[in-house]
Structure 1
Amino acid sequence: MWWFTQGLCFLPVFLVVWSSSTFIVSYVIALFRRDVDVLFPYISDTGANPPESCIFGLMTFVSACAGIATIYGRFKFVEKLNEETRVVSPRLNKAALVLGMLACLGMCVVATFQETTVTAVHDAGALLFFATGVLYIFLQSAISYHLFPYGSSMAVCRARLAVAVIALLAFFPTVICAFFVKQKDLHRDAESKDYPFHVASAVCEWIVAFSFVCFFLTYIDDFKLFTLRVKTEMG
């Protein structure tokens, strides 16, 4: 049996591969069309103009759907483990589920409203995605420690916490420095006073985004251990 066919392993694998491809493909197309600078564009800058905006929107929406499935799968896995161990508060597990779903909603908003058309809504969706996403991976890190040794290994628990800390440290510069960026053009003027703020914000944004990707990468071994089935009951 191929390793990626074990349990629900294909869910986090698909999410990681597809999300990474979303960022890279839209960046390469935007770069090829010279819509963005080679260095330090915002992720949303790479999906601002057609045709890359169409590809970015579609791929981001698919990532959000894959994220919903993966987050729900993780929720049910923890719930099942907790039936026997009783080491994780059900409220904590449900809170993580809600935060994860809100992050996916933020992704859908980002995919639907382009940066250059409805800026306020796009920025609100991005803030929702990043803020709830960081909280989600912190809660899942805490859940992982509570479940040890019934869930993941201690090495995986530590890796998840390290990724969560990196995402948190990068989140604040992403948001704070963005407030000082006045340039709205996709081609940034390196001589402008706000360019250093743009660089700091953009670099940290990429770090946060790929921190999420790395975090879901740690789900792969866990998802080999279980499957989900739909049960129909007639009343």
Structure 2
Amino acid sequence: MFWFKQGLCFLPVFLVIWSSSTFIVSYLIALFRHDVDVLFPYISDTGAYPPESCIFGLMTFISACAGTATIYARYKYVEKLSVDTRVVNPGLNKIGFVFGMFSCLGMCIVATFQETTVTVVHDIGALVFFVSGVSYTIVQSVLSYRAYPFGSSMSVCRVRSGIAILAFLAFFPTAICAYFVKQTTLHRDTEDEDYPFHLASAVCEWVVAFSFILFFLTYIDDFKLFTLWVKTEYAE
């Protein structure tokens, strides 16, 4: 049996590959059409104009669906650990699940409302995605340590906490520097007064986004260990 067919590990594998492709494909198309600058546009800038906006929206929505499935599977796995070992706080697991669902909701909002069309709603969706996503990685890192040695290995726990810390630290310059960016055009001039703020905010935004994506890579070994069954009951 191929390793990606073991358990549910295909879920995080697909999520990571698809989400990474979403950002990269939209960036390459926008770059080819000269809609954005080569160096560090905002992620949303790469999906501002058609046709890349259509591709970005569709692929981001699929990523949100894959993320929802992966986060739910992780929630049920930790819930099972909690029942069997009683080393994990069920309440904390539910909090992590809620943060994960809100991050996926934020992705859907970002995918639906382009920044050049409905800026306020787009920015709210991006804020929900980043805040909830970073919070999700932190909660899952804590759960991993508390479940040890019944869940992941200590090396995986450390990798998760490292990614969570990186995302947490990168989020603040993303938000703070973006506040000082006044120019709304997609093409930037290095001589602009607010260009350093734009550059710092954009770089950190890419760091946060890919930190959140790479966090799911650490789920692969865990997801090899279990499957989920859906049971339906007909009530007369």
| TM-score bracket for this pair, using the shorter chain length | over 0.9
SS at match of 1:158: helix
Q: Which amino acid aligns with 2:73?
A: G
Q: Which amino acid aligns with 2:36?
A: V
Distance in structure 2 (CA, Å) of the matches to 1:23 and 1:3:
26
After TM superposition, give the deviation of residue 84 of structure 1 in Å: 1.1
Distance in structure 2 (CA, Å) of the matches to 1:27 and 1:231:
41
Distance in structure 2 (CA, Å) of the matches to 1:176 and 1:210:
19
Q: Which amino acid aligns with 1:2?
A: F
* Identical amino acids, percent of aligned pairs: 74
Q: Which amino acid aligns with 1:124?
A: I
Distance in structure 2 (CA, Å) of the matches to 1:231 and 1:35:
48
Residue 52 (str. 1) matches residue 52 (str. 2): yes
Q: Which amino acid aligns with 1:76?
A: K
Distance in structure 1 (CA, Å) of the matches to 2:56 and 2:92:
33
Question: Are the counterparts in 1 of residues 64 and 107 from structure 2 also a CA contact under 8 Å?
Answer: yes
Give the TM-score normalised by structure 1. Answer: 0.99
After TM superposition, give the deviation of residue 7 of structure 1 in Å: 0.3
Distance in structure 1 (CA, Å) of the matches to 2:234 and 2:127:
43
After TM superposition, give the deviation of residue 233 of structure 1 in Å: 2.4
Distance in structure 2 (CA, Å) of the matches to 1:234 and 1:85:
33
Distance in structure 1 (CA, Å) of the matches to 2:116 and 2:178:
15
1:221 — aligned with what? 221
Counterparts in 2 of 1:181-220, with a 5 A limit?
A: 181-220=181-220
1:84 — aligned with what? 84
Q: CA RMSD in A?
A: 0.6
2:94 — aligned with what? 94
1:147 — aligned with what? 147
Distance in structure 1 (CA, Å) of the matches to 2:185 and 2:232:
53
Residue 111 (str. 1) matches residue 111 (str. 2): yes
Q: Unaligned regions of 5+ residues in structure 1, if any?
A: none
Residue 178 (str. 1) matches residue 169 (str. 2): no
SS at match of 2:149: coil
Q: Structure 1, residues 153-198: CA drift from partner, whole Å, max 9, x if none?
A: 0000000000000000000000000000011110012111100000
Distance in structure 2 (CA, Å) of the matches to 1:16 and 1:3:
16
Counterparts in 2 of 1:131-170, with a 5 A limit?
A: 131-170=131-170
Q: Unaligned regions of 5+ residues in structure 2, if any?
A: none
After TM superposition, give the deviation of residue 83 of structure 1 in Å: 0.8
After TM superposition, give the deviation of residue 19 of structure 1 in Å: 0.2
After TM superposition, give the deviation of residue 91 of structure 1 in Å: 0.6
Q: Which amino acid aligns with 2:232?
A: T
Q: Structure 1, residues 28-72: CA drift from partner, whole Å, max 9, x if none?
A: 000000000000100000000000000000000000000000000
Q: Which amino acid aligns with 2:109?
A: V
Distance in structure 1 (CA, Å) of the matches to 2:68 and 2:208:
19
Question: Are the counterparts in 1 of residues 81 and 88 from structure 2 also a CA contact under 8 Å?
Answer: no
Give the TM-score normalised by structure 2. Answer: 0.99
Q: Which amino acid aligns with 2:51?
A: P
After TM superposition, give the deviation of residue 214 of structure 1 in Å: 1.1
1:2 — aligned with what? 2
Q: Which amino acid aligns with 1:126?
A: A
1:128 — aligned with what? 128
Q: Which amino acid aligns with 1:164?
A: A
Q: Structure 1, residues 81-121: CA drift from partner, whole Å, max 9, x if none?
A: 11111011111000000000000000000000001000000
Distance in structure 2 (CA, Å) of the matches to 1:65 and 1:227:
18
Distance in structure 1 (CA, Å) of the matches to 2:234 and 2:215:
39
